[in-house]
Structure 1
Amino acid sequence: MQALFSYGTLQHSQVQLDTFGRLLEGEPDALIGYQLGEVEITDAAVIASSGKTHHPILNYTGDHDDIVRGTVFSITDAELAQADEYEVDAYQRVSAPLQSGNTCWIYAAAESSHD
């Protein structure tokens, strides 16, 4: 199983049903060193699922005072590939440490640099 941190639309039940065919169970956690920004979505299928033309996006700051709260979901390898398909090109999947001490996958701004 893979740990995936969601801070935006992947927390919505309709997006989960459309993307994974099921509702996900998760635990609250927080990501350190990122701030939330916003990105315009132009993919019609993504807009139809989320109901939004603008989605939140993580921007790496490296500042330990910057915290983004969200949910960690346990998903299969196949579901991680489905999440990759859902996310538009503005996002990249990277591994990141959480406030809990666990590590998980996140979708952050593609132009972000990571340590």
Structure 2
Amino acid sequence: MPLLFSYGTLRDPAVQRANFGRTLPTRPDRITGYRLDLLEIADAEVVALSGESHHPILVATGSPEDTVDGAVLDLTDDDLLRADDYEVSDYHRVEVPLASGGTAWVYVAR
């Protein structure tokens, strides 16, 4: 079962219901070596769904002092593909280590 680290709108239960048809099991976690920036979203459907014209976006720094808090979402393989469809082209998915151990997928700046 894939894990997805979310630091933004995919933590929102309304966004989860719209994308996955249900709310997802989540737990708090953190990643290091990244910082948050804001990205203006041009996709009207994504803005309508999230209610926000600017979404957070991760930028890799490689610095252990930079950390980002978020939540790990338990997904199915189909859920992960739906998450890929939801994210705009400014993001791409990579695998990162979690502070709690193990790894998860996360969307970062292209």
TM normalised by structure 2 equals 0.98
Deviations 1:1-28 (A, max 9, x none): 1000000000011110111110011110
Shift of 1:88: 0.1
State the alpha-carbon separation in 2 of the partners of residues 104 and 63 from structure 1: 19
**Where does residue 38 of structure 1 map in the other structure?**
38
Shift of 1:43: 0.7
**Where does residue 87 of structure 1 map in the other structure?**
87
**Where does residue 64 of structure 2 map in the other structure?**
64
**Where does residue 99 of structure 2 map in the other structure?**
99
What SS class does the counterpart of residue 80 from structure 1 fall into?
A: helix
- Aligned CA RMSD, in angstroms, stands at 0.5
Runs of 4+ aligned residues of structure 1 deviating over 4 Å after TM superposition are none
In structure 2, the gaps of 5 or more residues are none
Shift of 1:102: 1.3
Residue identity (%): 52
TM normalised by structure 1 equals 0.94
In structure 1, the gaps of 5 or more residues are 111-115
Shift of 1:82: 0.1
- Matched letter for residue 51 of structure 1: G
**Mapped pair 1:17 → 2:17:** yes
Deviations 1:65-97 (A, max 9, x none): 100000001100000000000000010000000
What SS class does the counterpart of residue 78 from structure 1 fall into?
A: helix
- Matched letter for residue 93 of structure 1: R
- Matched letter for residue 8 of structure 1: G
State the alpha-carbon separation in 2 of the partners of residues 12 and 62 from structure 1: 28
**Where does residue 6 of structure 2 map in the other structure?**
6
**Where does residue 53 of structure 2 map in the other structure?**
53
